[in-house]
């Protein structure tokens, strides 16, 4: 028997000092399914970036912290709320989905 309880685990991370993105329509990438996840970005007040993870893979808080730290180091955005609904995605897939979502932001997209 495992010592890790069943059910979803919710993890919250916050970062400050990012570049405010400004107003934008919510962005949704990915799909919740076995081994995958969805990422939603929403505008929020202030210059912070709040990340909420709801995951079926319990007990991986330090891994999620490392992925969130890497994301903010690469994309120091502010005024954004990130919601992640995970069904066991690997860190590489999480990073891919986060990059895809940020690319959809009006001020962060790929150069023309």
Q: How far apart are CA 39 and CA 53, in angstroms?
A: 9
Q: What pLDDT digit, counting tens, does each position of 44-69 carry?
A: 988 899 999 999 888 999 999 999 99
Q: Is residue 53 part of a domain?
A: yes
Cα–Cα dist 20/1, whole Å: 46
Residue 33 covered by a domain: yes
Split at pLDDT 50, 70, 90, the class of 111 is very low
More confident residue, 46 or 100: 100
Task: Give the pLDDT of residue 94.
Answer: 95
pLDDT of residue 5: 58
What's the whole-number average pLDDT of the chain? 89
* Number of neighbouring beta carbons within 10 Å of residue 94: 24
Residue 50 lies in a domain: yes
Angle (CA) 85-92-95 rounded to 5° is: 60
User: For 7-22, what is each residue's pLDDT tens digit?
Assistant: 889 999 999 988 999 9
28 in a structural domain: yes
CATH code, domain with 89:
3.30.230
- Which residues partner with 11 through β-bridges? 53
For residue 1, being part of any structural domain is answered with no
pLDDT of residue 2 exceeding 90, the answer is no
Asked if residue 89 is part of any domain, the answer here is yes
Which residues constitute the domain of residue 54?
Answer: 9-103
Model pTM score: 0.87
Structural domain total, the chain: 1
Confidence class of residue 4 from pLDDT cuts 50, 70 and 90? low
């Amino acid at each position: 028997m495992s010592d890790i309880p069943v059910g979803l685990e919710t993890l919250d991370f916050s970062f400050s000092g990012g570049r405010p993105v400004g107003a934008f329509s919510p962005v949704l990438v990915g799909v919740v399914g076995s081994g995958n996840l969805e990422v939603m970005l929403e505008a929020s007040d202030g210059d912070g970036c709040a990340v909420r993870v709801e995951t079926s893979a319990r007990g991986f808080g330090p891994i999620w912290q490392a992925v969130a730290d890497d994301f903010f180091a690469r994309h120091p955005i502010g005024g954004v709320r990130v919601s992640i609904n995970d069904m066991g995605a690997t860190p590489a897939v999480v990073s891919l989905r986060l990059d895809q979502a940020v690319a959809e932001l009006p001020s962060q997209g790929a150069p023309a």
